[in-house]
Structure 1
Amino acid sequence: MDLHQLMILRELGERGSVTAVARALLVTPSAVSQHLSALQRDVAVRLTEKRGRTLVLTPAGEALARAAVGVSIAMADAERAVHAFREDPVTPVSVAAFHSAGFAWFGALIEALAAHNSPPVSVSDEDLPLSDFSALVADYDLVIAHRIDHEQRWPDHLAVTPLLYEPFDVAVPRGHPLATRTSLSVADVAGEKWISPHRGFPVAGALDVVAMAAGCPLSIGHRINEFFVAGRVVASGGGLALMPRYTLMPGPDAGYVLLPFSSLRIGRQIDVLSRPETLLRASVRTVLDTLITVAHSKRPEPDGDSARSPVA
């Protein structure tokens, strides 16, 4: 049974005629009759009958109209509950992120929210292939995801909030001949051995961009997803690697330098994914706004700047 049809049945019982119902609802008598007929098809007993030229409710119709009042009350209560949930500023919010984003922003996000008596937040790290990020919105309110800027867009059913564009730099061992440069060309690094993430993960696609610019395949010596592990392998002389400029923040003993490409734009777009209805919640909007502020405050330089200080 359709709620609107039940309400029309109730109106007929209270107003006494199809014409009166149509006038009150600003529709035609024919539209009222069609809704009543559709409701009748779902019920095994007669709901209305003719008394002269007037359509009135049968005893069964009157019983159903009374029940419709309870349904209307329940729906109103449900709508109030949903409204209260959406507008509650401290409803808990869950956030997922890939590893380097979690490392860079989770702590600052929690601190910022706690300082302003904002919603409680729970965070989780998720190391996933690009194709699996969109499914996380079923389990988390906000999902920090990344993709190489030439790769596929996110599915249309998602709400996508752009967070920032993060360039990739080349991690070069400190004792390598290239380590004294201020920037690198594709030709400088095309013949080197590389450390690559596993296939299907976003950063692996970035190395494909380098290979296309070089006009030849790159020599992949190791497959490592975690940037900190890759950094240790770079420092040991195991190869070069692409590293994110803002979220990695290597320590003073990293053992490698980060150098930008001089003429190749390569990086990742970092977005926040969610279900559209999730963004209707006040607490989620607060966390998202705070996350945007945190992400931009942790970015040490504007996008597009090529100057980089070597990492000790």
Structure 2
Amino acid sequence: MDERQLRILRELGELGSVTAVAEALLVTPSAISQQLRLLQRSIPVPLTERHGRRLVLTDAGQALAGAAVEVETALARARHTVQDFVDRPDGGVSVAAFHSAGAAFFPLLLRALTGPGHPVLALADEDVAQDDFPRLTREYDLVLAHRLDHAPPWPRAVSATTLLREPLDVALPADHPLAAQHRLTPDDVADEPWITVHDGFPVMATIDAIAAAAGRRLRLAHRINEFAVAAEAVAAGGGLALMPRWTSRPHPALVLRPIDGVQARRHIDALHRPERTARKAVRTVLTELRSAARTIQDRDTDGEVTSPRGAGL
């Protein structure tokens, strides 16, 4: 049995005929009769009986029709509860991010969404390989993920909103001979030691592209996922590293230089399961993430990479 069949039974008890029920529900009498037959198949005792030309409820039918009132009332209450949850502006919203996105976006979110009437944020850091970001959408309402510009799109099971298309620049000590150049090429950096991420993380593909463009393998001296730690290693002379241009924190001993000849840019995307944005609170946070992305990008208004920087992944 289902809600529609129970309603038909209830209406039959109140209106007294199939024709009257059909008119009330704006369907044909044959459709009403079919639903009553389907309902009867699931009940071991007769629900209706003939009184002349009229179809009336038996005692069992009247009992079930009475229960139908309770069922409709409970369902209506459940719908109102769900609607209140969906429309609630200050509901809880969980957001996960890889480290450099969390460092850049989380403070802006917290400042913008503080106080009554705003979503209640639950923030978490998740340092995972690129292929593992979609599965995090099972646990969190929104997931900040990164992938390289030319990488395959995210699977169709998740929705993606691109927040930033962020250049990746070469980080080097401010007193390094290459720091005097405004732009670098793969040949300039191919013979330097490198500090890079572990396999499976997006930046690694750009390292491979630099090696391919230079025609020789790079020497990967250190594997460090955390950009803040990598920045310290670069400053100490451990090698060069790729760093994000906009989501990085300044480091007094480093400069960033763009590299020509390779696609060195990553997407920062907000991933979510499509049903999550049915909630007003989640849509509010997603809107604020877009605003935060504009703020982050606008910090570098001159388009040049001249200031010393470094940051966490």
Is the deviation greater in 153-162 or in 219-228?
153-162
Deviation per CA, 1:81-132: give whole Å up to 9, x if none.
Answer: 1111222221222211110011112122211222685223221111111122
Runs of 5+ unmatched residues, structure 2 = none
1:81-120 residue pairs with structure 2 within 5 A?
81-114=81-114, 118-120=118-120
Cα distance in 1 for partners of 2:216, 2:33 equals 73
Whether 1:307 and 2:281 are equivalent positions in the alignment is no
Cα distance in 2 for partners of 1:34, 1:213 equals 71
Runs of 5+ unmatched residues, structure 1 = none
Deviation per CA, 1:134-159: give whole Å up to 9, x if none.
Answer: 22222222211111122222222323
The residue that corresponds to 1:259 in the other structure is 257
Whether 1:197 and 2:182 are equivalent positions in the alignment is no
Gap change, CA 1:211 and 1:116, over 3 Å in 2: farther
Q: Tell me if structure 2 keeps the 8 A contact 1:262–1:306.
A: no
1:236-247 residue pairs with structure 2 within 5 A?
236-247=236-247
SS at match of 1:114: coil
How far is 1:295 from its partner?
2.3
Cα distance in 1 for partners of 2:46, 2:72 equals 22
Residue type of the partner of 2:133?
F
Q: Tell me if structure 2 keeps the 8 A contact 1:95–1:124.
A: yes
Residue type of the partner of 1:256?
L
Cα distance in 2 for partners of 1:85, 1:281 equals 7
Cα distance in 2 for partners of 1:158, 1:222 equals 34
State the TM-score, normalized to the length of structure 1: 0.90
Q: Tell me if structure 1 keeps the 8 A contact 2:97–2:145.
A: yes
Residue type of the partner of 1:259?
R
Deviation per CA, 1:41-60: give whole Å up to 9, x if none.
Answer: 22222222333343322211
1:181-220 residue pairs with structure 2 within 5 A?
181-220=181-220
Q: Tell me if structure 1 keeps the 8 A contact 2:206–2:262.
A: no
Deviation per CA, 1:136-189: give whole Å up to 9, x if none.
Answer: 222222211111122222222323222111110011233332121101112222
Cα distance in 2 for partners of 1:79, 1:126 equals 35
Cα distance in 1 for partners of 2:251, 2:45 equals 77
The residue that corresponds to 2:170 in the other structure is 170
Q: Tell me if structure 1 keeps the 8 A contact 2:196–2:241.
A: yes
Is the deviation greater in 208-217 or in 171-180?
208-217
1:1-312 residue pairs with structure 2 within 5 A?
1-114=1-114, 118-252=118-252, 255-299=253-297, 300-301=299-300, 307-311=304-308
Cα distance in 2 for partners of 1:4, 1:206 equals 58
How far is 1:293 from its partner?
1.4
Cα distance in 2 for partners of 1:91, 1:309 equals 42
Cα distance in 1 for partners of 2:141, 2:198 equals 27
Residue type of the partner of 1:279?
T
Give the CA RMSD over aligned residues.
2.1
State the TM-score, normalized to the length of structure 2: 0.90
Cα distance in 2 for partners of 1:209, 1:33 equals 69
SS at match of 2:113: helix
Q: Tell me if structure 2 keeps the 8 A contact 1:259–1:310.
A: no
Cα distance in 1 for partners of 2:209, 2:116 equals 43
Cα distance in 2 for partners of 1:15, 1:211 equals 81
Percent of aligned pairs with the same amino acid = 53
Gap change, CA 1:256 and 1:9, over 3 Å in 2: same
Deviation per CA, 1:208-237: give whole Å up to 9, x if none.
Answer: 333343444433222111001111222222
How far is 1:73 from its partner?
0.8
Cα distance in 1 for partners of 2:287, 2:258 equals 30
Deviation per CA, 1:227-262: give whole Å up to 9, x if none.
Answer: 01111222222222111111112332xx22110023
Cα distance in 2 for partners of 1:214, 1:191 equals 9
Residue type of the partner of 1:296?
R
Aligned length: 308
Cα distance in 2 for partners of 1:53, 1:288 equals 61
